Amino acid sequence: KYCKFNPWIPILLGLHMHFSWATTCPEECRCDRTFVYCNERSLTSVPLGLGEGYKTLYLHNNQINNAGFPLEMHNVASVETVYLYGNQLDEFPVNLPKNVRVLHLQENNIQMVSRAALAQLLRLEELYLDDNSISTVGVEEGAFREAISLKTLFLTKNHLSSVPIGLPEELRELRLDENRIALIAEDAFENVTGLELLLLDGNLLMDEGISPGALQTLVNLKTLSLARNSLTVPPPNLPAEFLVKLNLQDNQMNEIPLTAFRGLHRLERLDISNNQLQSLTQGVFDGLHGLRQLTVRNNLWLCDCNIKWVILWLKSLPATLNVRGFMCQKPERVRGMVIRELTLELIQCPNSTATVSQPTLLSSSTAESATQTVFTPAHSQPTPNPPRLTLPSPTSSKDGEQRTNDPVGPMQESLRVSFAVLNGSCIQVRWVSTFTVTAYKVTWVKQGHSLITGPMQESLVQGEREGIILTNLEPKSTYRICVDPLDAFNHDHPGDDTICSEVTTKSASFHSGDNATGPEQTTQQDPSSPFLLAGLIGGAVLVVLVVLLSIFCWHMHKKGRSDSSKWKYSRGKRKDDYCEAGTKKDNSILEMTETSFQIVTLNNEQLLKGDFCIQPIYTPNGGVGFSDSQRRNNTTAYCKNSVPETDTCHKL
């Protein structure tokens, strides 16, 4: 005989399993689908009765200690993620679910990590041990290697003095930042060839603390971070095959060897900010073909002749490379200026082909139209050791301009440049050249007391012209202006025929129409006039608003005083200004206003009835004032305690 198949059997089995799972939720917890919520319940141990079917177990922010893990918990095969952070564990717990893949143990007081505990977790892939008290001696040698599937290990903010010995071979991400690591042995990362991310920020590493070949074995490393240590040079033998990101900021580096970054062809992000670097060896970045971002902020960059190659390198970079933080710190005259915007004539070099004496600043307190003239030797008459040229003493001309006499000597000048301050926003630059010039490049930049505050600007002028007027300048500001003659190929020769000088514009009180010279000047307007008009309009609007606000406040104050003069009960008054009272048989509200009071009935249809006694009310200043008052016909004043009637009717 064949057994007949009953279609209700699978349905009944499914319902049985569903209700059996629903009944296995611990009483102290709340279960929802595959989640068990036992967090923040002041538990000292893991609740019993956890059945199969749940994948995520929340036990964080309790008071669970190491004795609170029952053996039956290890046999729950369905749980894959356990949250145990914020408890009172002092050792790595045992009897965790055997198939757990992600384990959070942050913010405990774990000091010991044993091999036996991790040997139970063969499928563990992510382990978070941040913010504990794990030391190097507290980790049993080879303990982490027992977790053969471990790929992510976080040990941030612990007490490690060295890299733990015996890391798992499958490890991909290792975070050891904010520890006390001062030594990385040669074999620290032995057999961990698959590591892709290594964080060692905020440790005690020095140059001699990193063994020469310690990092070389990490052939698959993509991110290496050594920020906030005490390195004076980058570590040697960096893994060059796949390294993409290198962080070396916040160290004590004062130099970078030429071969420090050699072979890092895939490096995309390099950060050397907040170090002690003053200069860089030419060619130090030549091998970084894949570089996309370079950060060099807050270093002590010295803008002298050694920085020339950096200027040229920055100007030749493609748009795909983003460089941040190249800013002069020394010398004082160029402090704060972006190195990329420097021109070669702003850099003082000891072996220049021609030397011009330090230019004189023109002050607006001098004549109405002051002129400064500078000479340069002829380009066609070079000498092996050209003498230093000095400017002759200035003489006053008939028109009040300040000029210089021709230099005395056999050398004949080739280029003569004069700078005339026209007003607070214009400077006229004129020149005379004894040799043929196809074009002139005029550059100017605003300077402050100790740093250059404006961007570099430049203009090309045809060779047949003899000058240019610089407009839209700021009043009472110093500008460094340079004139550079270009050859037939529009190439300049910095240091040969370049003339530079510092000129100060006049104050804004000088009107542009007083000193206008030439048709170009007559078409210019004072750039401050729109701002002046806007200021006047804004001031008028502000005055109108203040007047309206004053009228409104006066009106409200007057209205408030008129309302306060009426004796009406208001719950908004202070307790010292009123008092509520009543009688036994009539609860009509009696009103007492300010430091004196009158007893009136607010219900005029019914007279006051019953016994009552008037007690003196003290004024806010502590005094009591009495004055006799005549008894009204609609009031009754007496005391049930037989107080004489003449003493009971008073006005306070």
What is the rounded average pLDDT of the residues 579-594? Answer: 42
What the block records as the tokens of 33 is 């689908």
- Phi-psi label, residue 78: left if phi above 0, alpha if psi -120 to 50, beta otherwise: alpha
- Burial of 485 by CB count in 10 Å (0-12 exposed, 13-18 middle, 19+ buried)? buried
CA distance 123 to 56: 15
Question: Could you tell me which residues come within 8 angstroms of residue 522 by beta carbon, excluding any fewer than 6 positions away?
Answer: 516
- pLDDT reading at 534 higher than 60: yes
Residue 599 has what pLDDT?
53
Backbone phi, then psi, for 402, in 5-degree steps?
A: -100, 115
Under the banding of pLDDT at 50, 70 and 90, the label for residue 588 is very low
pLDDT, mean over the chain:
75
Is residue 50 in a domain?
Answer: no
Which residue has tokens 């330090």?
358
Range with lowest mean pLDDT among 43-52, 179-188, 420-429, 456-465: 456-465
Residue 379 has what pLDDT?
39
Question: Could you tell me which residues come within 8 angstroms of residue 551 by beta carbon, excluding any fewer than 6 positions away?
Answer: none
Percent of the chain with pLDDT over 90: 41
Query: Does pTM top 0.75 for this prediction?
Result: no
Which residue has tokens 């000891």?
350
What the block records as the tokens of 384 is 């092996």
Under the banding of pLDDT at 50, 70 and 90, the label for residue 242 is very high
Residue 233 and residue 209 in contact, taking contact as beta carbons nearer than 8 Å:
no
Residue 148 has what pLDDT?
93
- pLDDT reading at 584 higher than 60: no
Q: Which of 174, 231, 219 is nearest to 199 (CA)?
A: 174
> In the 8-state DSSP scheme, what is residue 562?
H
Which amino acid, residue 649? C
What is the rounded average pLDDT of the residues 242-271? Answer: 95
Alpha helices in 23-102 (DSSP H): 71-74
Residue 415 has what pLDDT?
76
Residue 645 has what pLDDT?
42
What is the rounded average pLDDT of the residues 348-352? Answer: 59
Is residue 115 in a domain?
Answer: no
Under the banding of pLDDT at 50, 70 and 90, the label for residue 589 is very low
Number of compact structural domains in the chain: 1
Question: In this predicted model, what pLDDT tens digit does every residue of 174-227 receive, in sequence order?
Answer: 999 999 999 999 999 988 999 999 999 999 999 999 999 899 999 999 999 999
Residue 484 has what pLDDT?
81
Residue 410 has what pLDDT?
38
Under the banding of pLDDT at 50, 70 and 90, the label for residue 86 is very high
- Burial of 240 by CB count in 10 Å (0-12 exposed, 13-18 middle, 19+ buried)? middle
Is residue 572 in a domain?
Answer: no
- CATH of residue 458's domain is 2.60.40.10
Q: Which residue has the higher pLDDT, 513 or 612?
A: 612
Is residue 485 in a domain?
Answer: yes
CA distance 302 to 339: 10
- CA–CA distance from 389 to each of 354, 375, 413, 472, 555 (Å)? 8, 8, 10, 33, 78
- pLDDT reading at 6 higher than 70: no
Residue 230 and residue 208 in contact, taking contact as beta carbons nearer than 8 Å:
no
Which amino acid, residue 620? P
Q: Which of 609, 619, 606 is nearest to 582 (CA)?
A: 609
Is residue 381 in a domain?
Answer: no
Q: Which residue has the higher pLDDT, 610 or 446?
A: 446
What the block records as the tokens of 297 is 């902020």
Backbone phi, then psi, for 545, in 5-degree steps?
A: -65, -40
427-433 β-sheet, strand order: 371-377, 413-421, 427-433, 467-470
Is residue 577 in a domain?
Answer: no
Residue 419: give the domain boundaries.
415-505
Q: Which residue has the higher pLDDT, 554 or 143?
A: 143
Q: Which residue has the higher pLDDT, 63 or 629?
A: 63
Residue 490 has what pLDDT?
56
Which amino acid, residue 121? L
Is residue 353 in a domain?
Answer: no
Residue 192 and residue 166 in contact, taking contact as beta carbons nearer than 8 Å:
no
Residue 66 has what pLDDT?
87
Is residue 469 in a domain?
Answer: yes
